[in-house]
Structure 1
Amino acid sequence: LVGWFLTDKVIEPRLKNTAVNGDPSTLPTLDELQPHERRGLKFAMAAMLLCALGLVLTAYGEHSAWRATDGALTSASAPLMRSIVAIIFVFFLVPGIVYGYAAGTANNHRAIIQGMSKSMSGMGYYIVMAFFCAQFIYAFGQSNLGALMAIKGALALKELALPMGVTLVGIVFLTAFVNLLVGSASAKWALIGAIMVPMLMELGVSPDLTQAAYRVGDSSTNIITPLMPYFPLIVVFCQKYVKESGIGTLVALMLPFSISFLLLWSGFLLAYWALGLPLGIGSSLSFPALS
């Protein structure tokens, strides 16, 4: 409801007078599906289901090549998990090719290559931007400023010895701020969690609740930090519609969402903690966990 209200009452009125000046040929349309397109979609769906069936059948047996040495399918060492990118690629590629042949939009391999090339033609700006963003992120990471801010902030929060509800909100806002400086979620958790988890365990707070507070702060400011890996890609999609779009444009548009969700989710977290509601299956709010 908050997302709808912000979109309908804040963001859309702000963009009301913004001219869409992107290339019309690259913008999506809402035309009715033609018979050949419906036929292509049916065959593409059948192809995707066959791919899924093939994956299930080859992974079902206990001696499947997709499994790890201990027989697990979802462990980090399992070939299935290590091949997830290639599997996703195949699940997009096969239905796409089948659709092209069934719908008559791609009658040979040259048309397929041409379609792939056209899809990637708009990524030039992203590749250039990603190069310079990568240099900045690397240099910033080498400076250890983000790590310094995370550790100093966590230690300061610990020394304040605030009431529990205030401490939880402090973790949320500390994480939201550090998120602007450190792009990797695992790196932030390694820095903040190493201090906050033992500290709050001493106060009777479970690691589950500590990580929930961390997740609220981490997710709220992802869309306004240029250090997020997908930020340049989102800017590129904006430029398909409005050529003048840039980093500042995206941050300004997303800031109302970021602030509102940060406050809303913090309130949700405090309500769960105050009412003693479980955060999830097998989770706890206190340490040691109450049976």
Structure 2
Amino acid sequence: MEETTTKKGFVTKALDFIEKKGNKLPDPAILFFSLMLLIWVLSAIFSNFTFTEIDPRSGEAIGVINLLSGASLAAFLSNMVTVFTSFAPLGIVLVAMLGVGVAEHAGFINAGLKSMLSVTPKKLLTPMLILVAIVSHTATDAGYVLVIPLGGVIFYAAGRHPLSGIAAAFAGVSGGFSANFIPSGIDPLLQGFTQSAAQIIDPAIQLNPLNNWFFTSASTLLIVLIGWYITDKIVEPRLQKVAVEVNPDEQPKMDALTSKEKKAFIISCLVMFICLLGLLFWAIPADSALRAETGELAVFTAPLMRSIVPLIFIIFLIPGVVYGMMSGTFSKTKDIIDSMTKSMSGMSYYIVMAFFCALFIDAFAKSNLGALLALKGASGLKAMALAPEVTIVGILLLTAFVNLFIGSASAKWALIAPIFVPMLMQLGISPDLTQASYRVGDSVSNIVTPLMPYFPLVVVYCQKYVKSTGIGTLVSMMIPYSIAFMVLWTIFLLVYWAIGIPLGLQSTYEYIPTP
């Protein structure tokens, strides 16, 4: 027992040290601005060097673009507004929050929480939250604007520390990004890059879009169990010393629903169900306008997948209005607009951070420094000529490292798939397995990099309960998840491979060239 206490003490001290040092970093907005300036300087320096790595996007040797040149600075000024307004997370967050804000201020979400907490055992609250967070991947980035803030509300309402609820939800949404038993648009997206890379060696090869489905489904249970343990045994105990201060107007009221509220909630849920049923009947026909030209629903080109955020807005707005009117929370239409205004006022700090974040990410992409980093790492790993098992782990670790700087899963895979997939095919390893290792690495470091576009938003969620929350606070909470996911998920992949369980539909572990 004494040894265990010592180990826990060391972990706590280490996390406290990370939090203390991390919180000394500048405000996230200033941090992004400073990093943008650093990228400008580095781009000017490295633009004078010649590199031999081939950029798969152009087929030519990659070169760093000097962002301090006259033309680049002129383009920066002329495109600044467009870069900000086209920053994808900004639109997603604001549009979704308009609908969610109505449902929240009407009391509809609060009523739902009361109902859920009345039927969910307290001991199972953590795994249920993480499972919901994982499933939210199906709706692209919906988990960031729905599940993560609700994680804090649910834990607070249950008498637990709200930051641990946010951490658990963040771990499920982002750290377990490639764990999901429900297929989503990311599956065919990555498969497309993998197949194109594989056809460099074998032009006739065809891969199934769900070639990793069995593995990602099995990974769901793993991520839930790991996240459950980390939340309840490491993160939440450490947070007990952190005081929570919540605006009285925003506190979930956990007294029992009145008969009027129960009736309003039941009818509102029925309205939501009718909306979802209508959407289902609209999507089912083979010639539905919600389908892509190929007839599929789950691909990114399908209008349904491109309409997830507007659908969230509508599906929360309508029941929220119904509940507000029936329960008496809303007495006039202006109350609906006021609830939207309140939800937007809470996003003001995030909007400022998003401005500088958008400029930094745009500069990093245009400079080609991120692409160069990925290609250099891939080339170095290839040159080592390691054993297949070690190479698979190397791909996973390299992906996790590059992921600290390049958040987009598809952007990274578009860069390094043309190197890794053909390389491992020549070693007899299938593209399906190479893609699976990439997906693990792409997930585990999402939750510890402030450069991830949604990271500042999670900081804002935490500040609702603990005003002093900074980058260091969030990173220190998420490091235990990241390390545990990386180690145990890697082992899980190797064991899964050793046993020979299929990775997905029509998938293989070995690549055998066709005669």
TM-score, normalised by the number of residues in structure 2: 0.53
2:391 aligned with 1:167: yes
2:463 aligned with 1:246: no
Q: Which residue of 1 aligns with 2:511?
A: 287
2:274 aligned with 1:50: yes
2:402 aligned with 1:178: yes
Give the residue type in structure 1 aligned to 2:424. L
Q: Percent identity?
A: 59
How far does the alpha carbon of each residue in 1:71-122 deviate from its partner, in whole angstroms, 9 at most, with x for none? 5444554443443332232111111111111222112211111112222221
Q: Which residue of 2 aligns with 1:30?
A: 254
2:375 aligned with 1:151: yes
Match for residue 272 of structure 1 among 485, 492, 496: 496
| DSSP-derived class of the 2:394 partner | helix
Pairwise CA distance, 1:289: 8.8
Pairwise CA distance, 1:193: 1.1
Once residues 118 and 218 of structure 1 are traced to their aligned partners in structure 2, the CA distance between those partners, rounded to angstroms, is 35
Pairwise CA distance, 1:254: 0.4
Alignment of 1:194-205 (within 5 A): 194-205=418-429
Once residues 480 and 281 of structure 2 are traced to their aligned partners in structure 1, the CA distance between those partners, rounded to angstroms, is 47
Match for residue 447 of structure 2 among 212, 223, 232: 223
TM-score, normalised by the number of residues in structure 1: 0.92
Q: Which residue of 2 aligns with 1:116?
A: 340
Q: 1:90 to 1:277 in 2, by over 3 A?
A: same
Once residues 77 and 5 of structure 1 are traced to their aligned partners in structure 2, the CA distance between those partners, rounded to angstroms, is 38
Pairwise CA distance, 1:62: 4.4
Match for residue 98 of structure 1 among 322, 331, 340: 322
Q: 1:218 to 1:288 in 2, by over 3 A?
A: same
Once residues 199 and 111 of structure 1 are traced to their aligned partners in structure 2, the CA distance between those partners, rounded to angstroms, is 61
Q: Which residue of 1 aligns with 2:361?
A: 137
2:255 aligned with 1:255: no
Higher relative contact order (CA 8 A, sep 6+): 2
Give the residue type in structure 2 aligned to 1:5. Y
Q: Which residue of 1 aligns with 2:438?
A: 214
Q: Which residue of 2 aligns with 1:4?
A: 228
Once residues 12 and 79 of structure 1 are traced to their aligned partners in structure 2, the CA distance between those partners, rounded to angstroms, is 41
Q: Which residue of 1 aligns with 2:3?
A: none
Once residues 68 and 260 of structure 1 are traced to their aligned partners in structure 2, the CA distance between those partners, rounded to angstroms, is 38
Pairwise CA RMSD of aligned residues? 2.1
Q: 1:69 to 1:187 in 2, by over 3 A?
A: closer
Moved more, 35-44 or 18-27: 18-27
2:420 aligned with 1:191: no
Q: Does structure 2 conserve the Cα–Cα contact (< 8 Å) formed by 1:68 and 1:77?
A: yes
Give the residue type in structure 2 aligned to 1:189. W
Give the residue type in structure 1 aligned to 2:260. H
- Unmatched 5+ stretches in structure 2: 1-224
Q: 1:272 to 1:68 in 2, by over 3 A?
A: closer
Give the residue type in structure 1 aligned to 2:233. K
| DSSP-derived class of the 2:407 partner | coil
| DSSP-derived class of the 1:131 partner | helix
| DSSP-derived class of the 1:85 partner | helix
Once residues 270 and 189 of structure 1 are traced to their aligned partners in structure 2, the CA distance between those partners, rounded to angstroms, is 21
Give the residue type in structure 2 aligned to 1:229. P
Q: Does structure 2 conserve the Cα–Cα contact (< 8 Å) formed by 1:226 and 1:247?
A: yes
Q: 1:156 to 1:242 in 2, by over 3 A?
A: same
Q: Which residue of 1 aligns with 2:312?
A: 88
- Unmatched 5+ stretches in structure 1: none
Q: 1:158 to 1:64 in 2, by over 3 A?
A: closer
Once residues 226 and 84 of structure 1 are traced to their aligned partners in structure 2, the CA distance between those partners, rounded to angstroms, is 25
Give the residue type in structure 1 aligned to 2:457. L
How far does the alpha carbon of each residue in 1:249-289 deviate from its partner, in whole angstroms, 9 at most, with x for none? 11111011101110000000111112212112322211139
Q: Does structure 2 conserve the Cα–Cα contact (< 8 Å) formed by 1:206 and 1:289?
A: no
How many residues align structurally? Answer: 290
Pairwise CA distance, 1:63: 4.5
Pairwise CA distance, 1:146: 1.8
Q: Which residue of 2 aligns with 1:13?
A: 237
Once residues 75 and 271 of structure 1 are traced to their aligned partners in structure 2, the CA distance between those partners, rounded to angstroms, is 30
Pairwise CA distance, 1:48: 1.2
Once residues 378 and 426 of structure 2 are traced to their aligned partners in structure 1, the CA distance between those partners, rounded to angstroms, is 15
Once residues 432 and 304 of structure 2 are traced to their aligned partners in structure 1, the CA distance between those partners, rounded to angstroms, is 28
Give the residue type in structure 2 aligned to 1:279. L
Once residues 484 and 378 of structure 2 are traced to their aligned partners in structure 1, the CA distance between those partners, rounded to angstroms, is 24
Q: 1:55 to 1:205 in 2, by over 3 A?
A: same
Q: 1:52 to 1:171 in 2, by over 3 A?
A: same
